[in-house]
Amino acid sequence: MFETLPGFRDFPPEACAQRNHIFRVFRNVARAFDFREYDAPILEPLDLFIEKSGPEIVSQLFHFQDKGERAVALRPELTPTLARMVANRANSLPKPIKWYNIGEHFRYERPQKGRGRSFYQFNADLLGEDSVGADAELIALLCGIMETLGLGQNQFALRLSDRQTWLLFLESIGIAEGERSAILEVIDKSERRKPEQNSEALDKIIPGRGNEILSQVDELKQINQLDSLLIKLSSFGQTGQTRANDWRALMDHLEAHQVSPFIKIDLSIVRGLAYYTGFVYEAFEASGEGRALAGGGRYDHLIKKLSGNIDLPAAGFAIGDMTLTDCLEKNGLLPSYVMVPDIFLICGSEQSKTGISIVANTRKAGFSVSHPLKESSFGKQFKEAGKSGARYALILGEEEELKKKVKIKDLKSSGEIAVDQSHLIQQLEKLDEEGGIDSSS
Ligand code: HAM
């Protein structure tokens, strides 16, 4: 017997129906925010992800050489692909560009709860607009999806942070420009490491200052109120003041979008991906348990880095399906779908041709119809109809065929009526409205 590869999942129909429920919410809410769906290849040139995604993701790539000796990789994320697509069409696309995608991604990670080697993401990105209104629109979309799925402020929170605030802070404590991104990487990992490991990692970048930098970093990470953050930012001079205004404007927008209750200022979020330049965020369960449900932020330089000449501001986020499904399940928010046909056809072997054409007509009229795929006795067919969970059985025997009739049996009430085959659809639609056949019929 073969098993799935580690970190890959099968989706039998029940799991697929639940996944479709989540995807349907993604699509409906994205539509309400006027985002357009797009799609892209799963396999990409390896080079697209090298440098663009950052070292952590590159070390997790599924990559190989194809028969044409090209170095290719299964996409670990969508952002570099989107940047390429938009850069290639930048002049002809009306701005702002508001696009979303639902698709599968692959990362060679250690499989664990909420983490697989293949997973789905809902990506939403907004390109061509650098004002905080765009960041707010994206955050409101993320919160709107979570709310529509049934998650309230007791169940999920969005932790909001800002790379620019971090860069201004690092500048204020005298860290040279070239060393700032290495320090952000340490800060990104700091929650998962011991303090000694963090100060050691910082010491490697700036020898002798590890402990001192760590205590200053910890101090900034403690800030979780807008007022104290604004005071801190104004201590960074004019650029700090400008950034404080951006923070205030963003929080005002989020309030107007009615999503403030979900937002927590949390500067421990830095994001592992190399391309982020501004406001960044991750969504978690409100309890803080488990891994991130979603993550994103602004990445204003990626399109230029990829295209060489096109300067297009951009921001976006992705929600992952694995942690989201776990969270919805835990909160009893995953509907369980009963998948049954509306109708089951029972017919004699001599009548099968007429029977199949009745099946074809009822299917065309929008009913879900099942029928025995090979000859079998009426008794067996009745049993099968009962097991199928269908509400109605259509019965076509010798007598019905001769009279050009068909019997409709309500499998719930056991009532039945005979109707002309030519009026069958009409009659079924009527029964749908009336709620079935009386048991005395
Ligand atoms: P990310 O934080 O790497 O961001 O992934 C976003 C979400 O995808 C995570 O919060 C998590 O739910 C899910 N995810 C990531 N890796 C795995 C995994 N191995 N197993 C299960 N779920 C996983 C990005 O991918 C960015 N490209 C998002 C973005 C879009 N930024 C701008 N636009």
Q: If the chain, 441 residues long, is cut into consecutive pieces of 10 residues, what is the mean pLDDT of each piece? A: 96 95 98 98 93 75 96 96 94 96 97 96 98 98 98 97 96 92 90 89 90 92 96 96 98 98 96 90 93 97 90 97 97 91 97 97 97 94 96 97 97 96 97 90 79
Residue 324 CA to ligand 1 center (angstroms) comes to 12
Identify which of 77, 117, 137, 159 to mutate to test ligand 1's pocket (most ligand atoms within 8 A of the CB). 77
CA of 25 from ligand 1 middle (Å) equals 18
CA proximity to 143, closest of 135, 266, 246, 98: 135
Cβ of residue 54 lying under 6 Å from some atom of ligand 1:
no
Does pTM surpass 0.75?
yes
Index of the ligand 1 atom closest to the CA of residue 282: 10
The predicted structure's pLDDT at residue 421: 97
Closest among 207, 189, 21 to 102, alpha carbons compared: 21
294 Cα to the center of ligand 1, angstroms: 6
Question: How far apart are the C-alpha atoms of 316 and 342, rounded to whole Å?
Answer: 42
Q: Mind listing the pLDDT tens digit for each residue in 309-354? A: 899 999 999 999 999 999 999 999 998 888 999 999 999 999 999 9
Cβ–ligand 1 distance for 323 under 6 Å, the answer yes
Q: 337: CA distance to ligand 1 center in Å?
A: 28
What distance in Å separates the CA atoms of residue 186 and residue 66, rounded to the nearest whole number? 36
* pLDDT (0 to 100) of residue 120: 98
Phi first, then psi: what are they for 229, rounded to 5°?
A: -65, -45
Whole-number pLDDT of residue 440: 81
Residue 272: what pLDDT?
A: 78
Residue pair 425/361 in contact (Cβ under 8 Å)? The answer is yes
pLDDT at 58 (0 to 100): 79
- Ligand 1 site, residue 320, Cβ cutoff 6 A: yes
Beta-bridged to residue 395, according to DSSP, are 346, 407
Q: What angle do CA 243, 245, 250 make, to 5 degrees?
A: 95
CA of 78 to the centre of ligand 1 (A): 9
**Measured from the CB, is residue 119 less than 6 Å from ligand 1?**
yes
